[in-house]
Structure formats: structure tokens, C-alpha cells
Structure 1
Amino acid sequence: MSLLSFILLCHPSTRQSWSEWHRQRAGRLLGRPVSAQSIGLPRHLYWLALHITLGLACGLVTVICVSNALLVVVTPLLWWAFPVNDDPKTVLDMPVVGSYGDVAIGPSVGNLLFAVGCLALPWFATGYARLTLAVLAPSRTQRLADRVTTLTRTRSDALEAHAAELRRIERDLHDGPQAQLVAVAMRLAVARRCLGRDLVTLARMLREATDITEEAMVELREVLRGIYPPILADRGLGGALRTVASRGGVPVSIDIGELHRIPAAIETIAYFVVTEALTNVAKHSRATRAGLRVWRTEDVLTIVVTDNGVGGAREKGGSGLAGLRGRAQALDGCLTVLSPAGGPTTITVELPCG
């Protein structure tokens, strides 16, 4: 395995995929998502040196413990196949295992190896996984370069999303309240000309103007709700998310911690992310239940939406995940989707709220 690692590290493309494979394995073992990162050759060589030394040592300990524990179990079962010969003339031809196998690998030694394996091997595995993630992490210079690239891309996406949102608001106002206000103005003009001459037409124009005004107010509230949901101002983020979860198409278990004061922009993004994620669960996942966990750790707001559906969620499948990622990255946040075929699906969003 170490020789194979060295061969694969010699080529840039295979080097990145090979190290990424090890990072993903380590992340799955530790139960935490690992995002893809570009890593330079020095980090790969440093990891290879540790992989050859510590990895080989951990592998040998594992093989010795497991093989000897299995030998202790198998030896009594095959004892009959190696009878002990007490004839002095044939003592030199006596099978080794049948004569002193019980001395070399006794039950006590087997139990000890089994106990060492049960206690030490999980510790070796998790420790080596943490070491792999630590060593294969990008250097500070690479992190800064990746950070600049990410911020440049997210800034461009944020500006594009902002422009699209302005166009949407302008279109909604133009097609809705603005057109209705024009209709109201026309009816009021007709009503003014009918003053003192045609009271029936006057009453009809005023009635229609009143009805159109009420419709315009309803549509205007809908437009404003898309900019900043009033429920956030009325109930706060926690109350708004509980309301959204209670209106979902599937039962949702809710766990919302103490959030304290969060900037309005972060509240808006969090609200729309949870709304869209739960809508996707109801529409696409075929789930029977979902979960919503929200908590704040120092200056990071974390949102986790889970479901027991069929999985297989992809950002290019029209599920709205690309939009969720764009909303999160617009405010320097990140989104992680774990959705294997057959489920379950876990969507994790982290938003800075310092």
C-alpha cells in the first residue's frame, strides 16, 4: 500500500485523487464531512513518510492481533489433525503445532491479544484518521490562496444574485402593485368626472378602486415578504423556523438551541435555507420524517436538516441545492450535502454570525 501510494503520488492528477480518497475515508471514519481541497506536493510527501512508518506499524499490530486471535480459535478445532507422537524414534518427525502449539499460543495469550485488539485497534484507527486529516490539510499559503479564490467567486455570485433579486422585485412591483395602482388612478379619474352627474357610475368606480387597492396591498406584502419575512421580525429566527417546520409536508423533529442576537442578513439566509430544504424533503425525498437542528457555537450558526428518504440528492438535479449553496456562500458560509443512494440525506449549513 505504501509503495502504491508512492507510485500514485508521482503523478499530479492521481496524487490529488489518491490523497482525497484517504481524506474521505478518514472523514467517514470520524463521522464528519470533508470538503475537497487542493494540497501541494510537500504535504503529500510528508504524509507518505508517516504513511510508510506509522501506517505500516499500525497495520502490523492489527494483523498480529487479529491473526493470532483467529489462530487461538482455529487451533483447538484442528487439534485432531495433528496427533502427538510420543515415540522417541519419531520425535523428530512430530508436527510442531500438535506438540507445543498450546505453549506458543495459549488461551491466555489469545485472550490478551483479543483484548488488545478490541481496545487498541479503534484507537489506532481514529488516531490515524485524525493524523491523516491533519497532515493532508493545505498549508497556510494554500488556505489563503483558496480563500481568495472562494471569496472572489462568492462575491461574483453574490453580486449576480443581488442583481437577479433586484430584477425580480422590479418585475413583481411592475406586474403587480404598479399595474393595480394605475387601474385605481384611472377609476378615480372616471369617478371625479361623474361627480354630481352619474352617481351609479361613481359608486361603481369607487367600489372597484377599493377592491383593486386591497389586492395591491396583498401583493405588495408578498413582495416585501420575499425581501425580509415579517415572521422574523415578529417571532425571531427560532420561532420562525419552528413555524416553517410545523407547516412542512412531513413530521419534523425540532432542536433549536440558544441563538442569541443574529444579524438580520444571516437570519434571512437561515430562514430561506430551512424553508427550501424542508420543501425539497416534502417534494423529492419520499421521506416519512425529517429533523431540524439549529445551534450557535461562538460566531458560527449551524443548521442541519435530515430526512429518512431515498437519498441521491444532487445539486444539478433541480432540487434547489445550488441555490442554497449560493445563498450560504454569498455571506461567506458553506453548505455540505451527504445523500447516498437509499438515504438518509443530511444537509449542513454553516453561517458566520459574528
Structure 2
Amino acid sequence: MRGVNGKARARSIQALVQAGRSGHYLLGTLVTATVTLVAAPLLCVPSLAAPWAERHRRRAGALLGRPVEPRPRSPRRDLGWLATQLATGLPAGVLALLCLGNLLLVLGITVGWWAFPASEPARLPLLGVHVDSWALALTAGPVQFLLLAALAAIALPPLARVHARCCLAVTAPTPAERLAARVGELTRTRADVLQAHGAELRRIERDLHDGTQARLVAIAMRLAVAGEILPQDPDAAGALVRQTRAETEEAMTELRSVIRSVYPPVLADQGLVGALRALATRAGVPTRIDIGELGEVPAAVEAVAYFAVTEALSNIARHSRATEAAVHLTRDGALLSAEITDDGTGGADASRGSGLDGIRRRAAALDGTMRVSSPPGGPTVVTVELPCV
């Protein structure tokens, strides 16, 4: 019985908190709708209407718990939202003001009726009862307050959600605008891929030319010298052959390093799951690995996921001052998702040219995405999503 009462109490508290959030949203909507009405001629300027509408899109998304993605500017759509805000925001905000204002009024009358004597006793707004004694103040007052609180808990959250959905629906881009934005994103992604591909080819060529090729030339020269002096000085020729063997082993090591940067051998040997588990044992901070059922993953996707996790864990070890990290890898249909979290100091920003930007570029090359949530003080969550098609 005690557990049932506790759950009912928790639900009541949650309903009141939700009513408070919704009331705050609707009162803010009333203020902004009033500003829109007063400053309508000024806000009809597209350069001012767009940020004004965008601000309310973010407010509506925060209330509904939905991420609000950037959208292309559309003056007609923004002006349409101004009209919708006047038509829906003003009445919704006024209703919230009446409900919450009467709550405060009842509270004030109940507590202070005796302190401000007047010829006409104070009247409760909903019940219409004149409060002229402590008996009425302590009975009718709480009843009135509970009725208004219940009304707020029942009416304000759906009213706020309806207004927020209306705001997002009016300002949402059209299918044509989404297609245009998608084409623009793919164009930028293609340019990034070509640039990254060219840079990678130049790096591999430079590594092979300056490292492996130079060592192979030295090996060939040593073998030629050894062949020339072998009849006259077999011992010196043998020493050169032994040195050449050491050079050959070093050249093989460098060549393996170049190959590893193209496609890590650990992926071929152990697969993505085994490679990530091995990576966790070498991470600079204690790392927990949680991997769901992945099925068959294309090699290119495996490589990008592995490099993304590697770079993210490397950043954690170098910059975050974290005490632990976690990697959560799942697959939902054709979408592979890697989530890397840490309990560090936060403040990670992919726009500052860090390794996170490299992760974003690798993901974009496969039409994937990367999101970073890293408020000051942490935690940091890096989410990489890759299509497996």
C-alpha cells in the first residue's frame, strides 16, 4: 500500500512539474505574441522574421523534447508563422495567465484577507465565496487552490504541446526545401570526400616514398655492393647481407604501418567486435564496451566505425581528464550507431579543428552523421551513425 501511495505521489509531483513547465512556456508565448503584435511591421522584414521564428522553433522543440535541426530560410514560411503566433499564441497565453494568475490571487486572498480590511470582503474568483473569517480562509481557500491546480495540471500541458507542434509544423521546411538542403549537403560532403581522399593518397604516397621506398633502395644498393665484393672478401659481404636483412625487417615494419592506416589488420583478423574490445584494453582510461547484435557490416563501415572510436578514445585520454569511458555499439535496421561517452570536463567542439572534425568527415564520406553533446563540466557524448547499405 505504501508503494502505491508513493507512486501516486510521484505522479502528482510530476504532473505539477509538467504543468509548471507548460505554464512557463505559455506565458513566454503570450509575451512574444504581444511583442509580435506590437512590432509586426518591423518583424515582417525577412532578416528579422527568420531569427525570431527560429528562436520559437527551439523553444517548441525543447518543450516537446525533439531535436530541432537547422532549416533553410523561407521568408514566406516565417511570415506565415508570425500570423499563426498571433492567432494561437495570444489566446493560449491568456488562458495560461488566467489560470496561473488566479492561483496566485487565491493564495494571496487566503493568506492576507485579514491584513487588508475593506468595506467589501475579498471574494474567491472561482467559488465566489467572500472570505471574512479564518474558517472560510482555511477551507474554501485550499479547495479553490486545489481546483485551480488540478485545472492547470490537466489543461496547460496539452495546450502547450498543441501550440509547440503547431509552431514546428508551420515553420518546418517543405519537401522541396528538404530535398534542396539534402542536395546541398551531399554536394558539400562529396567535396569533403574528394579532398580527404586526395589528402589520404598524398599521405600514403609520401609515407611510401620517404620511408619504405628509401629503405628498399638502400637494401638494393647493399645487395649490389655485397655481390661485387663477395669474391674478394666473403666476410665483408656476409656482414652487408646481415645488415640488409635488418633493413628489410625495418622496411616491412614501415610497410605494415602504412597498410594499417588504410585498413587495420585487426579488423580483418578479429572483426569489428574483437577490434573494439582490443582497443578498449589499450585506451588511456578505463573503457566499458557494450555491443549489440550487429549482423554483417560492410568493410568500409567497419573501418570508419573503428577509426571513429579510436579517435574519440584518444581525445578522451588526451583532453577530457575523464576517469572512465564507455562505447555503446548498436544496429537498428540499416543504421549502425556508435556512442562514445566519458565523465570528463566537457567542452568538446568539433568546429575547432580537433580530431572530432576528422570523425565527422569520415562519417560524411559514407553519408553518415556525427553529433557531439559536451556541456561544460561534462559528460561528453559523441554519436556516430553510419548507414550499412
Q: Normalising to structure 1: TM-score of the pair?
A: 0.87
Segments of 5+ residues of structure 1 without an aligned counterpart are 85-92
State the Cα distance separating 1:272 from its structure 2 match: 1.3
Contact 1:16/1:38 (<8 A) preserved: no
Residue number in structure 1 paired with 2:68 = 34
Write the distance in 2 (CA, Å) between the matches of 1:82 and 1:95. 9
Could you say if the C-alpha distance between residues 58 and 261 of structure 1 is closer, same or farther in structure 2, counting changes exceeding 3 Å? farther
State the Cα distance separating 1:347 from its structure 2 match: 2.1
1:96 lines up with 2:127 in the alignment: no
- The 3-state SS of whatever aligns with 2:339 is strand
Write the distance in 2 (CA, Å) between the matches of 1:242 and 1:271. 11
Query: What CA deviation, in whole Å up to 9, does each residue of 1:136-176 have, x standing for no partner?
Result: 22111111111111111111111111010000000111112
1:169 lines up with 2:204 in the alignment: yes
1:286 lines up with 2:317 in the alignment: no
- The 3-state SS of whatever aligns with 2:185 is helix
Letter in 2 for 1:339: S
Counterpart selection for 1:147 from 168, 179, 182: 182
Contact 1:274/1:305 (<8 A) preserved: yes
Counterpart selection for 1:25 from 59, 63, 81: 59
Write the distance in 1 (CA, Å) between the matches of 2:248 and 2:257. 14
Residue number in structure 2 paired with 1:81 = 115
Write the distance in 1 (CA, Å) between the matches of 2:327 and 2:63. 24
1:243 lines up with 2:278 in the alignment: yes
Letter in 2 for 1:70: L
Letter in 1 for 2:210: D
State the Cα distance separating 1:311 from its structure 2 match: 2.3
- The 3-state SS of whatever aligns with 2:331 is strand
Write the distance in 1 (CA, Å) between the matches of 2:80 and 2:120. 50
Write the distance in 2 (CA, Å) between the matches of 1:253 and 1:132. 41
Q: Identity percentage over the alignment?
A: 52
Counterpart selection for 2:384 from 325, 349, 352: 349
1:130-209 mapped onto 2 (5 Å cutoff): 130-209=165-244
Q: Normalising to structure 2: TM-score of the pair?
A: 0.79
Letter in 1 for 2:104: L
Query: What CA deviation, in whole Å up to 9, does each residue of 1:200-243 have, x standing for no partner?
Result: 21221111111111111111111111111112222222332233
Counterpart selection for 2:260 from 205, 208, 225: 225
Aligned residues: 346
Write the distance in 1 (CA, Å) between the matches of 2:247 and 2:304. 33
1:308-323 mapped onto 2 (5 Å cutoff): 308-323=343-358
State the Cα distance separating 1:248 from its structure 2 match: 2.0
1:304 lines up with 2:304 in the alignment: no
- The 3-state SS of whatever aligns with 1:310 is coil
Residue number in structure 2 paired with 1:2 = 33
Write the distance in 1 (CA, Å) between the matches of 2:168 and 2:215. 60
- The 3-state SS of whatever aligns with 1:255 is strand
Contact 1:82/1:95 (<8 A) preserved: no
Query: What CA deviation, in whole Å up to 9, does each residue of 1:271-299 have, x standing for no partner?
Result: 11111122112212222233322222222
Write the distance in 1 (CA, Å) between the matches of 2:142 and 2:208. 83
Residue number in structure 2 paired with 1:117 = 152
Write the distance in 2 (CA, Å) between the matches of 1:122 and 1:291. 36
C-alpha RMSD of matched pairs (Å): 2.7
Could you say if the C-alpha distance between residues 11 and 57 of structure 1 is closer, same or farther in structure 2, counting changes exceeding 3 Å? same
Could you say if the C-alpha distance between residues 260 and 133 of structure 1 is closer, same or farther in structure 2, counting changes exceeding 3 Å? farther
